[in-house]
Structure 1
C-alpha cells in the first residue's frame, strides 16, 4: 500500500511537471484554425504529422510544431516552439486541433471544444502493444496511455487490422478514420530518385530492451558485394538505428565508410525508404512501410527465439509474413541472390488482402478534408 501511494505521488508529480494540471490555461481563448503538431515527443520533423502539416501550408491555417531544438527542415510557414516550455503549453491551450503520433506526455488540460487527432507511428506493427502488452509495459506508461485515449477524438487507420487493434487494445472510444497512413502517401507518388546511378540498401533494425546490438547485422561490406552481383554499377548501405539508440552509434561496433553510411540522424525514414531499393530489418514496423511501397524487404533475425522470449509477443508469425527470413549472414546472401520478384509480389498482395489495407496514396488529402470540416463546424466564440 505504501509503495502504491508513492507510485501515485510520483505519477501525479510527473504529470504536474508536464503541465497536465495547468488549469490556468482554461483562461486562454482558442484560436480558430490553429493546429499544434508534435512528433515523437518533440524529436524531429517527420512521420504522418509532417505530411499533414506540409499539406496545410497553403490552407490559411496557423501551424505550430513543438521541437526540442530548432529544426532547419521545418518550413518557415510552420512556427517552431520549444517542447516542454510554458510557451508550448499556451500554444496547445489555444489550438483548435492537436495532432500527434505518440501518446502525449506534455499537454495542458484539454478543453471540450478542442480536437485531438492521433496518427500513431506505424501503419502496422509486428510486436504486441498497448493493452495486448500491458504486463510488459511500465505502469506509468499504461496510466499515460489510458489518459491519452480519453482525450483522443480521432485515430487514423491504414487497415482493417489496425482498426480492430485500436478499438480493442488502445482504450479508445472515439472515431477511427479509415483513410490510410499519411506518411505512406509518398510511396504512391512519382519517385524522384537521387541523380547518381548508385543503388541503396537500408538497414533499419529495432532496439532491444537491454540496448545491446549483439544480434545486429555488422558485415555490411559483405552484403554490399552480394548486391553488386545483381548487375548494378554501385551499391551503398545506409544504416539507421532506432531513435532509442542513435545517440550511442559512436560506441557500437559498426564500421562506417564511404559505402556504409550512418543515417541514424536523418530526420525522416520515409524518404530513405522511398530511395532505397532494399530494406533489411528485424522486428521493426518499417517492414510494413516497405510492404505498402511494394518494395523489397528482408528479415535478418539471428535472435528470433530469444527475442520473442525476452521482449514481446508478435501479432504475426515471422513465417506468415511475405519477407524472406535469414538467421545467418550466409542465409541473407542466399536470399538476395535467389530473390524471386514474382513470388514476392504475389505474397505481398496476399498479405494486403489479409489485413484489408486502406492505403491508396490519398490519406493526407482525406485528413486535410476532415480538418477543414472540423474547423468549419466549430461551435465556440
Structure 2
C-alpha cells in the first residue's frame, strides 16, 4: 500500500475511534444544565477545570467528569464520572451545553451549534514553544487534531497579554480570548494555611516543616540522570539562610512518573509525584526549583521564590524544544551546576527578586486577580439557565 494512502487510512481510523463522526447522537436533545469536563485526557480532578468546577458545585448543574480508570476516586460529591473514551462519554458530550477542557480534545463527537466549548489550556504563560510555533516537531496526527479542535473552540481563558497573543497567533484559534486570569492560580490569592496543613498531614511531617518543591520537566528520551540527585547541600543552605526544617517535595512530570519509583528518598526527600494537586504543593512551598517547567510562572504569580537548575541547558535547546524566553533573561536565578545552585540560595536577594518579578509581570501583561474561577463559573451559570 502507498505510504500516503496508508497514513490517510490510519488517520481516518483514528478519527472514527475518537468520535469525530459520531453524528448518531444528534437526535438527542441538548441538556442546558449539563457540563462535561476533562483534564489532561482523563487524569481526574485537577488543574483549571478543578478550580472552575469547585465554584459550580451545589448549583444544580449536572457536572460530568470524563476519567481514566481509577481517577474517579479524586472527584468530589456532586460530580458524575464517566469513563474517558467510552461510548457513554460521547453521548454525554453530544448532549451537554458546555464542554470544559484544559488540553486539545483527543476524543469528542461533532460539536453542535448551540453548544459552548471553553478551553482553559494549562498555564498563565508558556516557556516551551507550542502549536504552530512548534509544528515541525509535533506529530502530524496531533497537528490535524489541534486544527480541528481550534475550529470547535468558542473561548480560551488567558492569564496574560502574552497568552492573549499566543492563542490568537499560534493556536489556529478564531474564537474569543477571555483575559480573566488562570483559575488554578486563584489559590495563590487565598490564605493557604489549610493547604499547608493538608500537605504536612499527607506526608506525615511536622506541622512547622518548610517545603521546597523540586519539579523538573521530562526529556523525550526519559533520561533522569540530569535531575538533581543529592539535596543535602540545598537543604543545609536553606536552613542556614532561612532557618527551620526543610523538606524536599520531589515531583516528576506525568510523562516520566514511572521513574519516581527508582529515586532514593529519605526522611527529608519526599515522593510527591503522585500527590493529586500540583498547585497545592506550590501553595505549601516557599521555593520551587525547576528547569524548563512552566510551573515557574505559577510560582511567580504567588510571588514566591523560584530557582532554575538546568545542567543540560545547551543540549536541551538543541534536542528538545525551542523556548519563548531566554532563561537568562527571566527573573529567576539560573544555575547549571549544583554548586551554583547552593550559591544562589545563599546569596538570594529578596528585594531585587521581587522587583524583577514585578517588571516581568508588567512587561507581559499579567491578568491574575484571584477571581478567574468565579468569573468563568458565573458565565457558565448564565449559559446554562
How high is the TM-score relative to the length of structure 1? 0.96
Moved over 6 A (4+): none
Q: Say which SS state the counterpart of residue 41 (structure 1) adopts.
A: coil
After TM superposition, list the pairs within 5 Å mapping 1:1-381 onto structure 2: 2-70=2-70, 71-192=72-193, 193-194=196-197, 196-251=207-262, 254-376=263-385
Q: Is the 8 A contact 1:199 1:232 kept in 2?
A: no
Cα distance, 1:7 vs structure 2: 1.4
Choose 143-152 or 25-34, whichever is displaced more.
Answer: 25-34
Cα distance, 1:79 vs structure 2: 0.7
Q: Say which SS state the counterpart of residue 164 (structure 1) adopts.
A: helix
Q: Following the alignment from structure 1 to structure 2, what is the Cα–Cα distance between the partners of residues 248 and 30?
A: 44
Q: Is the 8 A contact 1:52 1:364 kept in 2?
A: yes
Q: Is the 8 A contact 1:221 1:260 kept in 2?
A: no
| Matched pairs, number | 374
Q: Say which SS state the counterpart of residue 91 (structure 1) adopts.
A: helix
Q: Say which SS state the counterpart of residue 35 (structure 2) adopts.
A: strand
Cα distance, 1:61 vs structure 2: 1.1
Cα distance, 1:32 vs structure 2: 1.1
Could you say what the CA RMSD is over the residues aligned between the two structures, in angstroms? 1.2
Q: Is the 8 A contact 1:124 1:285 kept in 2?
A: yes
Where in structure 1 are there 5+ consecutive unaligned residues? 377-381
Q: Is the 8 A contact 1:100 1:117 kept in 2?
A: yes
Where in structure 2 are there 5+ consecutive unaligned residues? 201-206
Choose 212-221 or 299-308, whichever is displaced more.
Answer: 212-221
